[in-house]
Structure 1
Amino acid sequence: MDSDIRRMAIKDAKVLMVGAGGIGCELLKTLALSGFQDIHIIDMDTIEVSNLNRQFLFRKSHMGLSKAKVARDAVLKFRPHINITSYHANVKDAEFNVEFFKQFNVVLNGLDNLDARRHVNRLCLASNVPLVESGTTGFLGQVTVHIKGKTECYECQTKPTPKTYPVCTITSTPSKFVHCIVWAKELLFAKLFGDKNQANDLNVHSKDGDSTNHKEDVFERSSEENFDEYCCRIYDHVFGYNIEVALTNEETWRRRKKPTPIFIRDVLPKIKTKKNGILFENGSVSALPSVGLKNPQEIWSIAENTNVFLEALKLFFEQRKKEIGNLTFDKDDQLAVEFVTAAANIRASSFGIPLHSLFEAKGIAGNIVHAVATTNAIIAGLIVIEAIKVLQDVNNNYRMTYCVEHPIRKMLLMPVEPFEPNKSCYVCSETPLLLEINTRSTKLKDFVEKIVKNKLGMTSPLIMIGSTLIYEVGDDLEEDIAANYTRNLEKVLFELPAPVTHGTILNVEDLLQELSCNINIKHREEFDEEKEPDGMVLSGWTSQVDKDRTTSSSTEPQIKDNNVIISKSEEVFRNKRKLSEISKSDEAATGKEIDLNDDDDDDLVLLDEDPGHSNKMRKLR
């Protein structure tokens, strides 16, 4: 009887999958083989060569094609009688609104960024559709179930924002390799190849010693220079002369180790100047072959980094000239990665920081934790297990399951009971927020970008003070009204039509997400530039935390741009699981088959560490 109910729940379900990447490919295959008949997929990405090692539905011939559409076609080849609908689009597009989400029985996330996860979470809450969330990071992974009113929503536990670094540290006093990567990627690369009209904090000095941010002063190539001469001049200026100027500020280096200026003549003495440019000893037409480099995990010498830097810079201007002025760093742009790696290593060498390989630098620059196909497959299977429970409405059996790299109590998969909704969550409990901000110096546009969009994740915000509407976005706005809102963006908060002062309550809404929250304003004059670089502090929803959420700092959620993984310690595992389950798990060492929960059909994978069993995997029911 139970099996019949399960089959009906699967067959009649209408499922929405968001993401067709590493987890998504495994998930779509597993759903199809599990009997699901009506599956919809949303993914905005196209297939790239770096996907092929783990996203098994794709082939080299699919390069540049839609992930969602190719995944659909691949699965239909071995399950031709099911319905799969693909959308090559962004889940944040207006067409995927609350009404769209209401047609589904469950939503399954296989996303790779925090912003989209939050957006889907809010649409699921507004449409009252269960969400099964997931993420992987290397050998780590997790699956969580979010059901309105029954379990916590995705945002009930605050997620740390991506790490940012003070501009002064990046431009003047780097102490870690990541500082050099950020400098090379966000400042130097952007200055050379990006939009010339965009503000840039790259600290570059002209020949007279004055600090300047104008590209034409230093980075503009004169008509007399060929590319080789230009590349060498840029190198000497950025890594040599600029460091010499920085060293003149003795106060900066009073308690710090002084950097060493690096000039080409000291690194590559065999370069000869000719009338037609600079002749490299071995000749070159591309960055890596120019110095005979092949192994991406090898750490280059300073000379090799110099050659890669010069060749990459030259190739950008010679072969990708049309792109100059519009480029942004992309981890899948091989030449960009080579340039950033070389630049970061040269700067690191100057400041006495250990050098890194191309492989390591790419991971740092792209915020990459390299994926493991097996982890994706395990997580996809767990997603389907939880989805079936949701469809059967067996809420007493939902599990948050964590995949760990090393066995804890001989367990690689750690299922725990879901948390209840956090009563202080501003997303699902409508708890007011508190914002500390200087209302007399902060403009509305800074509040919108840093708080409303970045912190709160709203895409179509509407801001009101009492009954006064001070900001709104939308294609249907009349031209004069839209212009008025644009003017408001440039005004200081205190100077708005309805002034924002200490004690003001702002109401912020997102009509697409059907989310509304109140923000209490607290005026504050000064902020710590190192600890509070945004000049504003948002708080409120973290003030009330259940006792069983408390963990050591080492077990706090870890958020990656590429993937998201929430690691739980054994202590949390003990706190959340039933006492009877914990005592039974100890029997794993005896090799007996045990039932962790009489009503739970989940399989628990344990690793037998007995050498006599060759570390084989056992399934314990």
Structure 2
Amino acid sequence: MASQEQLSAIKRAKVLMVGAGGIGCELLKTLALSGFQDIHIIDMDTIEVSNLNRQFLFRQSHVARDAVLRFRPNISITPYHANVKESCFNVDFFKEFDVVLNGLDNLDARRHVNRLCLAADIPLVESGTTGFLGQVTVHLKGKTECYECQPKPAPKTYPVCTITSTPSKFVHCIVWAKDLLFAKLFGDKNQENDLNVRSSDTANLSEHSEDVFECRKDEDIERYGRRIYDHVFGHNIEVALSNEETWKNRNKPRPIYSKDVLPEEQTKENGNEEKGCAADDVSAMDIGNLTFDKDDQLAVEFVTAAANIRASSFGIPLHSLFEAKGIAGNIVHAVATTNAIIAGLIVIEAIKVLQKDNNNYRMTYCLEHPSRKLLLMPVEPYEPNRSCYVCSETPLSLEVNTQRSKLRDFVEKIIKAKLGMNFPLIMQGASILYEVGEDLEEDMVAIYAANLEKALSELPSPVTSGSVLTVEDLQQEFSCSINIKHREEFDEEKEPDGMLLTGWVEAPVDNDNNKPIRNDESTSNALPSVETLEGEKDDEIQETSEVVEAFAGKKRKLSEVSEVTAPDPSGPSSINQNKPEKLDIDDKDDELIISDDWESLTKKKKL
């Protein structure tokens, strides 16, 4: 039973939920049934039939608000069918709430909300699930680590040479089909693309070299499709084979032409039927101006077909449409019961936050299966990482070839992709190098656009080794400093961006003892944060985590750290490695049991 104090805190709270998908659906239901009276929801998606296998609150016709009001008609639910990154959801908006609860499915939005909560000084309860794994974490400005205190793994990237010339895995074929072929055929015709799109093959082209992907006058769609097919899967493979050095230690690919799988008379032999269907998909698409969308069935079918043809050419096993969609969309399939457990834990921590119960906050990890002898693992939150560039304002360092890398590369690969800024302002001293905003004058827009195409060292205020850039995002009310170091060469395999950003991973050094000082003691042993893949409405994912490897972690509890003294690296662990502690919910009669005896759980109350 909840105490009177808890009920009072619940009833007067104004709660912001961000995301109403897999976790959010269960969270909204639990909030309503727990007595919360004023709930605001931001979500940009709508309910689809394929969502209903795990979002039991809804029917096909429902939106989240309507579904809950059917059984809690007296509470106030305010929905915002929008993207949380829109300018109307600014710091002042966030300041209206007592707590923010995240049920998001992508890293970019999570980072955005984290920064807004820091700027507004509003508690954030984060969450995520992947299959049977899940976690809930509490973040309070200046008291616990923020969501970004521990670096999140960057999305996996692959060297261009591997993708375009020497694929060895099916994922290489998917990336090629999605980011190169699909983008070239149906995307922005002016964008740079690493496909070989020029040819002087006199058998197929006019005397002068031209863009193979341009449809010629009086050329019907089938003939155009066959020509593209032959160029991409036949001609380009033969060109690659001409470099014999490449294939000394590799299996040679096999050129595949349309006549081999799709005869002119459209007859298909039994052995060629599957590949023939793929050829149909590749050759019959209408040209447009599109970006790949994993929810676009035709786009997924095209990428799957193209990837399988390329895989066949390189001797890589073929994959089904379902498997290919998962790879192309970065999809991890959700489990409804895990979402429900995590939603319950979110509400538990939210109530503690509202009561300002500082000593009892928990980060709780949901483990994968009973053989680990644990159902849930709670640990105390960790203090802020003093090396965090977000909440501790520690400068970052960037190694880059300042003479070759353009400002555009810096903006796209570092500012947006790595730092998650949406509306960046880049300055060197008092000089503004780049700015994004709706109120910019036209001449300034032109100047900043021109700057994007200049090498860093060629900017009006040249960026060279030793330069310090200040980067701000006014919407997030967030800024950081980046120290620039010129570097000539980069390993294309290990550093495909041609840049290396460091800073918040490394610890400051204790000069007296000549050893690093870490708030978290060891990133290798630290409890891993839930990491993000792209969300997917059909197979809703939240995040991934390697939680079970964390039992040997030695991150420190807030209660063990003095406000003045740096933590002792040899201090006690925040995790009892033999018997994990139990997590109190309301009182001794209604608690969530954490036990090393799995069978005993059947005799005790469970969430």
* TM-score bin, normalised by smaller chain: 0.7 to 0.9
Q: Structure 1 residues 595 and 514, CA, compared in 2 at 3 Å: closer, same or farther?
A: closer
Equivalent of 1:338, from 293, 301, 313? Answer: 301
Q: Structure 1 residues 484 and 569, CA, compared in 2 at 3 Å: closer, same or farther?
A: same
SS at match of 1:181: helix
Q: Structure 1 residues 547 and 473, CA, compared in 2 at 3 Å: closer, same or farther?
A: closer
Equivalent of 2:83, from 72, 90, 94? Answer: 90
For 2:335 and 2:38, locate their aligned partners in 1 and report how far apart those are by CA, in whole Å. 28
For 1:586 and 1:483, locate their aligned partners in 2 and report how far apart those are by CA, in whole Å. 60
Deviation at 1:574, TM superposition (A): 6.3
Is the Cα–Cα contact under 8 Å of residues 203 and 211 in structure 1 kept in the other structure?
A: no
**Which is bigger in relative contact order (C-alpha 8 A, separation at least 6)?**
2
Equivalent of 1:393, from 356, 359, 364? Answer: 356
Q: Structure 1 residues 329 and 418, CA, compared in 2 at 3 Å: closer, same or farther?
A: same
Is the Cα–Cα contact under 8 Å of residues 177 and 348 in structure 1 kept in the other structure?
A: yes
Is the Cα–Cα contact under 8 Å of residues 195 and 327 in structure 1 kept in the other structure?
A: yes
Equivalent of 1:153, from 133, 146, 149? Answer: 146
Is the Cα–Cα contact under 8 Å of residues 11 and 37 in structure 2 kept in the other structure?
A: yes
Is the Cα–Cα contact under 8 Å of residues 42 and 82 in structure 2 kept in the other structure?
A: yes
Q: Which stretch shifts more, 97-106 or 45-54? A: 45-54
User: What residue in structure 1 maps to residue 275 of structure 2?
Assistant: 306
For 1:371 and 1:215, locate their aligned partners in 2 and report how far apart those are by CA, in whole Å. 50
User: What residue in structure 2 maps to residue 572 of structure 1?
Assistant: 551
Q: Give matches, 1:112-151, under 5 Å.
A: 112-151=105-144
1:56 counterpart letter in structure 2:
F
User: What residue in structure 1 maps to residue 512 of structure 2?
Assistant: none
Q: Give me the CA root mean square deviation.
A: 3.2
User: What residue in structure 1 maps to residue 28 of structure 2?
Assistant: 28
1:72 counterpart letter in structure 2:
R
Q: Structure 1 residues 485 and 243, CA, compared in 2 at 3 Å: closer, same or farther?
A: closer
SS at match of 1:170: helix
1:169 counterpart letter in structure 2:
T
For 2:574 and 2:382, locate their aligned partners in 1 and report how far apart those are by CA, in whole Å. 19
The superposition leaves residues 231-262 of structure 1 with CA deviations (integer Å, 9 ceiling, x where unpaired) of 44433332223212211110111121111222
The superposition leaves residues 190-246 of structure 1 with CA deviations (integer Å, 9 ceiling, x where unpaired) of 22222222222123563629999x996433444555444444443333222321221
User: What residue in structure 2 maps to residue 105 of structure 1?
Assistant: 98
For 2:246 and 2:472, locate their aligned partners in 1 and report how far apart those are by CA, in whole Å. 46
For 1:548 and 1:505, locate their aligned partners in 2 and report how far apart those are by CA, in whole Å. 29
Q: Structure 1 residues 366 and 216, CA, compared in 2 at 3 Å: closer, same or farther?
A: farther
Is the Cα–Cα contact under 8 Å of residues 425 and 431 in structure 1 kept in the other structure?
A: yes
Deviation at 1:583, TM superposition (A): 7.8
User: What residue in structure 2 maps to residue 262 of structure 1?
Assistant: 256
Count residues with an aligned counterpart: 573
User: What residue in structure 1 maps to residue 569 of structure 2?
Assistant: none
For 2:574 and 2:141, locate their aligned partners in 1 and report how far apart those are by CA, in whole Å. 28
User: What residue in structure 2 maps to residue 11 of structure 1?
Assistant: 11
Is the Cα–Cα contact under 8 Å of residues 205 and 211 in structure 1 kept in the other structure?
A: no
For 1:122 and 1:469, locate their aligned partners in 2 and report how far apart those are by CA, in whole Å. 23
- 2:439 is the counterpart of 1:476: yes
- 2:605 is the counterpart of 1:619: yes
Is the Cα–Cα contact under 8 Å of residues 136 and 142 in structure 1 kept in the other structure?
A: yes
Deviation at 1:94, TM superposition (A): 1.1
Is the Cα–Cα contact under 8 Å of residues 140 and 405 in structure 1 kept in the other structure?
A: yes
Deviation at 1:382, TM superposition (A): 0.9
SS at match of 1:41: strand
Deviation at 1:537, TM superposition (A): 1.1
User: What residue in structure 2 maps to residue 498 of structure 1?
Assistant: 461
Is the Cα–Cα contact under 8 Å of residues 435 and 539 in structure 1 kept in the other structure?
A: yes
The superposition leaves residues 276-304 of structure 1 with CA deviations (integer Å, 9 ceiling, x where unpaired) of xx3557xxxxxxxxx9xxxxxxxxxx834
Is the Cα–Cα contact under 8 Å of residues 574 and 582 in structure 1 kept in the other structure?
A: no
- 2:19 is the counterpart of 1:50: no
Deviation at 1:386, TM superposition (A): 0.7
Is the Cα–Cα contact under 8 Å of residues 134 and 342 in structure 2 kept in the other structure?
A: yes
Q: Which stretch shifts more, 498-507 or 164-173? A: 498-507
- 2:184 is the counterpart of 1:185: no
Equivalent of 2:387, from 424, 427, 437? Answer: 424
For 2:279 and 2:504, locate their aligned partners in 1 and report how far apart those are by CA, in whole Å. 50
Q: Structure 1 residues 95 and 349, CA, compared in 2 at 3 Å: closer, same or farther?
A: same
User: What residue in structure 2 maps to residue 284 of structure 1?
Assistant: none
For 2:574 and 2:268, locate their aligned partners in 1 and report how far apart those are by CA, in whole Å. 72
Deviation at 1:31, TM superposition (A): 0.5
The superposition leaves residues 548-592 of structure 1 with CA deviations (integer Å, 9 ceiling, x where unpaired) of 4443699686542233233233553664688898488389xxxxx
- 2:384 is the counterpart of 1:450: no
Q: Which stretch shifts more, 492-501 or 160-169? A: 492-501
Q: Structure 1 residues 475 and 35, CA, compared in 2 at 3 Å: closer, same or farther?
A: same
For 1:395 and 1:414, locate their aligned partners in 2 and report how far apart those are by CA, in whole Å. 19
Is the Cα–Cα contact under 8 Å of residues 554 and 575 in structure 2 kept in the other structure?
A: no
User: What residue in structure 2 maps to residue 511 of structure 1?
Assistant: 474
Q: Structure 1 residues 233 and 504, CA, compared in 2 at 3 Å: closer, same or farther?
A: closer
For 1:370 and 1:580, locate their aligned partners in 2 and report how far apart those are by CA, in whole Å. 31
For 2:23 and 2:35, locate their aligned partners in 1 and report how far apart those are by CA, in whole Å. 19
User: What residue in structure 2 maps to residue 321 of structure 1?
Assistant: none
The superposition leaves residues 470-506 of structure 1 with CA deviations (integer Å, 9 ceiling, x where unpaired) of 2222222233333333333233222323222221111
Is the Cα–Cα contact under 8 Å of residues 194 and 325 in structure 1 kept in the other structure?
A: yes
For 2:268 and 2:174, locate their aligned partners in 1 and report how far apart those are by CA, in whole Å. 26
Q: Which stretch shifts more, 599-608 or 559-568? A: 599-608
Deviation at 1:48, TM superposition (A): 3.3
For 1:161 and 1:117, locate their aligned partners in 2 and report how far apart those are by CA, in whole Å. 14
- 2:439 is the counterpart of 1:439: no
Q: Structure 1 residues 216 and 151, CA, compared in 2 at 3 Å: closer, same or farther?
A: same
Deviation at 1:596, TM superposition (A): 7.7
Deviation at 1:310, TM superposition (A): 2.8
For 1:573 and 1:542, locate their aligned partners in 2 and report how far apart those are by CA, in whole Å. 20
Q: Structure 1 residues 555 and 74, CA, compared in 2 at 3 Å: closer, same or farther?
A: closer
Q: Structure 1 residues 568 and 222, CA, compared in 2 at 3 Å: closer, same or farther?
A: same
Equivalent of 1:561, from 531, 534, 546? Answer: 534
SS at match of 1:402: strand
- 2:290 is the counterpart of 1:327: yes
For 1:406 and 1:479, locate their aligned partners in 2 and report how far apart those are by CA, in whole Å. 59
Deviation at 1:536, TM superposition (A): 1.4
User: What residue in structure 2 maps to residue 296 of structure 1?
Assistant: none
Equivalent of 2:239, from 242, 245, 255? Answer: 245
SS at match of 1:188: helix
User: What residue in structure 2 maps to residue 369 of structure 1?
Assistant: 332
1:45 counterpart letter in structure 2:
D
For 1:370 and 1:204, locate their aligned partners in 2 and report how far apart those are by CA, in whole Å. 37
Q: Which stretch shifts more, 258-267 or 506-515? A: 258-267
For 2:526 and 2:554, locate their aligned partners in 1 and report how far apart those are by CA, in whole Å. 17
Identity across aligned pairs (percent)?
A: 69
2:272 counterpart letter in structure 1:
A
The superposition leaves residues 320-345 of structure 1 with CA deviations (integer Å, 9 ceiling, x where unpaired) of xxxx3222221112222222112212
For 1:452 and 1:582, locate their aligned partners in 2 and report how far apart those are by CA, in whole Å. 40
2:238 counterpart letter in structure 1:
E
Superposition TM-score, scaled by structure 1 size: 0.85
User: What residue in structure 2 maps to residue 316 of structure 1?
Assistant: 285
Is the Cα–Cα contact under 8 Å of residues 585 and 596 in structure 1 kept in the other structure?
A: no
Deviation at 1:181, TM superposition (A): 0.6
Deviation at 1:49, TM superposition (A): 3.6
1:619 counterpart letter in structure 2:
K
Q: Structure 1 residues 580 and 437, CA, compared in 2 at 3 Å: closer, same or farther?
A: closer
SS at match of 1:414: strand
Is the Cα–Cα contact under 8 Å of residues 162 and 561 in structure 1 kept in the other structure?
A: no
For 2:260 and 2:446, locate their aligned partners in 1 and report how far apart those are by CA, in whole Å. 56
